[in-house]
């Protein structure tokens, strides 16, 4: 990193310190708000939006839904659909050899006529899975069909989030000293077993399920109380986040009437997972979800469709590497949030323009949202809302704080510069005149009339300096006033001119001033090379002109017997040297007067060097040198344009 870039960056450190406490406070408050669960609904909504905004997937050809719709119910002699009709349906489906049939329909009591026929079908076919409700969440439990064994049962319980939307799927729940398995897990396991996969306990997490086949292994990511945006959520049993399938037609659908009338293709049954359930709005079995689009009912899907999504994500996650929904650790989540918050602090500090700051925050927000969306495509759900909050608040709100802090600092700096400029103006002209007058008075070289004239001249100059400083302020410091050669004219330089031209004008107007030792100079050498001045501010250009004026004036006051003066500005090895040299009697004092202190302060600002010394055999050298060439880098370019 170049010196100039480093200097510019370190100059921002006071702003970083000033806004750091406020920015960290905002980060802390956002984290505390998140820990209370207040941000959960927003984060859930963003998750749903991302899931339904993904590229469309193909229809899952491993699952077919047979829905009992309005037409089927209207054509039935009664509702619920009699057991005989269900038995006929099952017997006909079994002719086409499905892998497994999931009956997502309550059959805890006989529905005559035909109950014996349904019991016979249950006992005849071992690939039928019925449902029960086992989780005590205040709702009525439902017993399983009595004719099915425990291995042919799966619970259909589901617990929605606080906003009523279903995003988690139970796979197992503990019941007394045993475990119950969900319908979606039963169906998935039956299908995967047919493909040669076996289920086992996890390796990374012994409390989850792992499917293995030869050297292959797929472990289901378990839900924890604080997974993703969740806060202290009940993670009882084994739960996973549901990665709903995003498709215009997630699954093939048939109706009870389609089966009765043979209006279907055998391919939709053979070797598939078959799910039978209600798809009627008059007798709804529905769950709420905004993660699935193109629903028949806005924001809702049928319970049998939910079971299909839950089974599909397991089967396709194992067989096709379709991503499950994973989350970072809590530490990872909060590091991500804090990182974006700190980026907002730095951004608000470095931005000079509120418009640029707003555009930068907008671009950063787009990157944050885009990154989060891209990670969803790979199955990773990361915090979006809290990261976006701390980044945008710190990036925008702190800008006002920084602007105010910068405004106060600029006011202080402007007052300091005004004082320095006032003193420099007085020092380089009236005080020079007074010093010369005192020297001449000590030598008794002046008559009373001459003394009075000189004092009047100094008095006029001091009064004129006030008017000059006012005018410089009005003209936004783009002008520079030289000490006058006589009272009849005012010498004003435009600091927007090239610096080498300003140097030449300063020399020309200063060398003609009425100092005694200018009169003995016979050989003037003046040469100012072109200087690339991108690194110089208007204030620094003015200070360099003031330095040059002071150095030349010193020759006129102190260089006794000088016959030669050399005033040059040259570039060498990336440095620019402004030199004033004479062949007078040389430096007679080592005292650090105002002019020397002023030159040393300027050298420090420019990260350069200042020397003033006697030369052999006689003469004085006054030189100010500073670096002008900087190594380019992307960072320095970016920082320079902030």
The CA-CA-CA angle for residues 511, 513, 519, to 5°, reads 70
- Residue 158's alpha-carbon distances to 276, 376, 625, in angstroms, are 18, 23, 78
- pLDDT for 638 equals 42
Predicted confidence at residue 9, as pLDDT, reads 47
Q: With cut-offs at 50, 70 and 90, classify the pLDDT of residue 611.
A: very high
Same domain membership, residue 394 and residue 288: no
Task: Work out the pLDDT band at 135, boundaries 50, 70, 90.
Answer: confident
In a domain, residue 442? The reply is: no
Q: Where does a domain end: 306, 327, 348?
A: 327
DSSP 482: P
- Asked if 320 and 350 sit in the same domain, the reply is no
Do 339 and 291 sit in the same domain of this protein? no
Rounded to the nearest 10°, the torsion over CA 223, 225, 231, 234 is: 100
Domain boundary among 381, 405, 429: 405
Distance of CA 572 to the CA centre of its chain: 43
> Could you tell me if residue 481 is inside a domain?
no
- Average pLDDT, rounded, for the chain: 84
Q: What percent of the chain has a predicted confidence (pLDDT) above 90?
A: 51
Helix (H) or strand (E) run with residue 412 in it: helix 398-428
Q: How many domains does the chain have?
A: 3
Range of the domain at 217: 57-327
> Tokens representing 601?
């302060």
- Burial (CB count within 10 angstroms: exposed 0-12, middle 13-18, buried 19+), residue 452: exposed
Residue 438, domain member (yes or no): no
Return the pLDDT at 330.
92
Report whether 555 contacts 582 (CB < 8 A). yes
Does one domain contain both 609 and 627?
A: yes
Domain boundary among 405, 431, 449: 405
pLDDT, one tens digit per residue, over 22-63 is 888 899 999 999 999 999 999 999 999 999 999 999 999 999
Specify the residue for token string 């570039």: 571
* CATH code for the domain in which residue 627 is found: 3.30.565.10
Q: What is the pTM of this model?
A: 0.68
Predicted confidence band of residue 637 (pLDDT cuts 50, 70, 90): very low
Q: Are residues 501 and 593 in the same domain?
A: yes
């Amino acid at each position: 990193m170049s010196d100039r870039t480093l200097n510019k960056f370190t100059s921002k450190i006071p702003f970083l310190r000033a806004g750091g406490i406020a920015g960290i406070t905002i980060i802390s408050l956002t984290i505390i708000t998140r820990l209370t669960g207040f941000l959960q609904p927003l984060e859930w909504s963003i998750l749903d939006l991302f899931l339904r905004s993904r590229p469309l997937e193909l229809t899952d050809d491993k699952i077919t839904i047979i829905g009992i719709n309005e037409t089927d119910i209207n054509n039935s002699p009664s509702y619920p659909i009699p057991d005989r009709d269900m038995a006929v349906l099952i017997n006909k489906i079994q002719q086409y050899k499905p892998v497994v049939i999931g009956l997502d329909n309550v059959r805890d009591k006989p529905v005559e006529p035909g109950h014996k026929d349904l019991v016979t079908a249950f006992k005849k076919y071992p690939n039928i899975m019925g449902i029960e409700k086992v989780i005590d969440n205040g709702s009525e439990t439902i017993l399983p069909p009595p004719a099915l064994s425990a291995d042919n049962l799966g619970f259909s319980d589901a617990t929605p989030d606080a906003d009523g939307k279903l995003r988690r799927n139970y796979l197992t729940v503990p019941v007394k000293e045993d475990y119950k398995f969900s319908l979606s897990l039963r169906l998935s396991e039956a299908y995967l077993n047919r493909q040669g996969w076996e289920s086992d306990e996890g390796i990374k997490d012994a409390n989850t399920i792992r499917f293995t086949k030869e050297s292959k292994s797929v472990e289901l990511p378990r839900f924890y109380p604080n997974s993703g945006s969740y806060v202290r959520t009940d993670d009882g049993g084994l739960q996973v986040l549901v990665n709903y399938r995003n498709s215009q037609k997630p699954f093939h659908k048939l109706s009870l009437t389609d089966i009765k009338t043979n209006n279907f293709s055998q391919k939709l049954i053979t070797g598939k997972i078959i799910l039978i359930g209600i798809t009627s709005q008059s007798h709804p079995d529905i769950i709420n979800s905004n993660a699935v689009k193109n629903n028949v009912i806005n924001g809702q899907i049928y319970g049998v469709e939910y079971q299909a999504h839950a089974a599909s994500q397991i089967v396709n996650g194992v067989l096709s590497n379709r991503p499950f929904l994973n989350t970072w650790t809590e530490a990872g989540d909060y590091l991500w949030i804090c990182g974006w918050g700190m980026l907002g602090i730095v951004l608000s500090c470095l931005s000079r323009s509120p418009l640029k700051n707003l555009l930068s925050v907008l671009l950063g927000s787009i990157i944050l949202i885009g990154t989060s969306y891209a990670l969803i495509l790979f199955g990773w759900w990361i915090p979006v809302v809290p990261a976006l909050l701390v980044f945008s608040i710190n990036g925008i709100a702190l800008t006002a704080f920084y602007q105010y802090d910068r405004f106060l600092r600029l006011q202080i700096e402007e007052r300091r510069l005004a004082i320095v400029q006032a003193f420099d103006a007085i020092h380089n002209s009236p005080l020079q005149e007074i010093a010369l007058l005192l020297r001449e008075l000590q030598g008794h070289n002046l008559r009373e009339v001459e003394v009075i004239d000189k004092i009047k001249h100094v008095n006029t100059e001091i009064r004129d300096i006030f008017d000059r400083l006012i005018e410089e302020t009005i003209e936004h410091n783009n002008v520079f006033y030289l000490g006058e050669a006589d009272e009849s004219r005012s010498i004003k330089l435009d600091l927007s001119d090239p610096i080498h031209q300003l140097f030449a004008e300063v020399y020309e107007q200063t060398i003609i001033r009425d100092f005694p030792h200018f009169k003995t100079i016979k050989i003037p050498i003046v040469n100012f090379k072109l200087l690339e001045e991108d690194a110089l501010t208007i204030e620094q250009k003015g200070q360099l002109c003031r330095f040059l004026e002071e150095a030349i004036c010193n020759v006129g006051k102190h260089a006794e017997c000088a016959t030669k003066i050399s005033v040059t500005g040259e570039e060498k090895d990336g440095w620019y040297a402004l030199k004033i040299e004479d062949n007078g009697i040389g430096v007679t004092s080592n005292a650090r007067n105002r002019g020397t202190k002023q030159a040393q302060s300027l050298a420090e600002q420019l990260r350069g060097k200042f020397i003033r010394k006697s030369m052999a055999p006689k003469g004085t050298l006054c030189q100010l040198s500073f670096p002008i060439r900087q190594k380019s880098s992307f960072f320095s370019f970016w920082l320079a344009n902030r």
